[in-house]
Amino acid sequence: MKKPDRRRIPVSPDDARKLLGPGDANLRDICRILGVAAVYRDASLIYTGEKTALDRAQSVTEKLVLEIQSSGRISKSTVQKALEFPELKSAGLIYSVPGRAGRIIPRTPGQESYMRSIMHNELVFSIGPAGTGKTFLAVAAAVTALRDNRVERIILTRPAVEAGEKLGFLPGDLQQKIDPYLRPIYDALNDTLSAPKVQKYMENGTIEVAPLAYMRGRTLNNAFVILDEAQNTTLTQLKMFLTRMGHGSRMVVTGDVTQIDLNPPTASGLVRLTRMLKQIPGIGFVYLDHGDVLRHPLVQRIIEAFARRDDQ
């Protein structure tokens, strides 16, 4: 009878405590699902099993260690996602950002497709539900491109449209009025850059965060431009935005067609535009779904429930 193979993977004691989980619960899940045995000894995880299972166990372990080193912790859902999607098809799909997010890797097949599309296309549409990382990964890609001197500036924009509220009714000056609408973009920036750098870059114009209306009449050269919440734009607004693209620039357009705040919802131009542009080279389309949701597991179930209602 053939003797099982063994695989030794170095893991520091600090990382191992978080990786193995309370009472080694995470490690037990890995062994049960992948069909391997494991023991932690001499600062290494030692797996025993068939070669294919060991390859998957190594990929899962390395991915979880990277997550621990990036965010300082892992959750039960993080382990589950790693087991569902253990292998990266391309080692280049890692963003290293100077903010607290650190190293960012795709955590679902949809995210991998999204990051690869950004790498290979000058214009990318990312459409999917909340919690799939559409905005965060786009901002991380922009910060990485800026750090590598592939672009000179980052421009982030979204339409100032929310459920029934108007800018004029909010207190404060114009900047104070638009800040609540742009808060998700600021959050992503603060995760991928340090707060002092965000402030410095915004003061010197390296990073610009503005409502979509401010894009009219401009030509955006050598920039990484992100349009967030594009489901709340009309076809005319999308045409205006996309035709701002200048030399040396890249664009990412994100949206969730299940959360349209326009009245009527059919005024959204995002779905119509994606159909129009599907056959144009250099434009990528990525569709994320509930399987790519990385927030609390309840978020995924809520999205699934709404999808079932829509189907009915």
What are the tens digits of pLDDT across the range 93-136?
Answer: 777 777 776 778 787 888 889 999 999 999 999 999 888 889 99
Cα separation, 178 vs 183, whole angstroms: 9
Compute how many other C-beta atoms are within 10 angstroms of the C-beta atom of residue 30.
Answer: 26
Computed over every residue of the chain, the mean pLDDT equals 84
Give the contacts of 213 (CB within 8 A, at least 6 positions apart).
Answer: 160
The residue type at 106: P
Give the contacts of 217 (CB within 8 A, at least 6 positions apart).
Answer: none
Whole-number Cα distances in Å, 77 to 56, 121, 150, 164, 292: 18, 31, 35, 35, 12
What residues pair up with 250 in beta bridges, in sequence order? 224
**Tokens, residue 259:** 């959360």
Closest by Cα among 98, 100, 45 to 70: 100
The residue type at 266: T
Look at residue 40 in the predicted model and tell me its pLDDT.
94
**Tokens, residue 131:** 């919690």
Give the β-pairing of 250-255 and 223-227. Answer: parallel
Look at residue 250 in the predicted model and tell me its pLDDT.
96
Cα separation, 135 vs 62, whole angstroms: 25
Residue 12 has pLDDT above 50, yes or no: yes
Phi, psi of 6 (to 5 degrees): -125, 150
The residue type at 43: A
Closest by Cα among 63, 66, 72, 79 to 25: 79
Residue 158 has pLDDT above 50, yes or no: yes
Residue 48 has pLDDT above 90, yes or no: yes
Closest by Cα among 164, 215, 166, 160 to 185: 160
What structural domains and CATH numbers belong to the chain?
A: 5-84 (3.30.1370.10), 95-311 (3.40.50.300)
Helices (H), the chain: 13-20, 25-34, 51-71, 76-84, 109-120, 134-147, 174-192, 195-203, 235-242, 270-277, 297-311
Task: Report, as an integer, the average pLDDT of 274-297.
Answer: 83
Look at residue 168 in the predicted model and tell me its pLDDT.
53
Phi, psi of 284 (to 5 degrees): -110, 145
The residue type at 177: K
pLDDT range class, residue 165, cuts 50, 70, 90: very low
**Of 19-23, 34-38, 79-83, 164-168, which gets the smallest average pLDDT?**
164-168
Cα separation, 191 vs 279, whole angstroms: 35
**Of 18-22, 102-106, 256-260, which gets the smallest average pLDDT?**
102-106
Look at residue 112 in the predicted model and tell me its pLDDT.
87
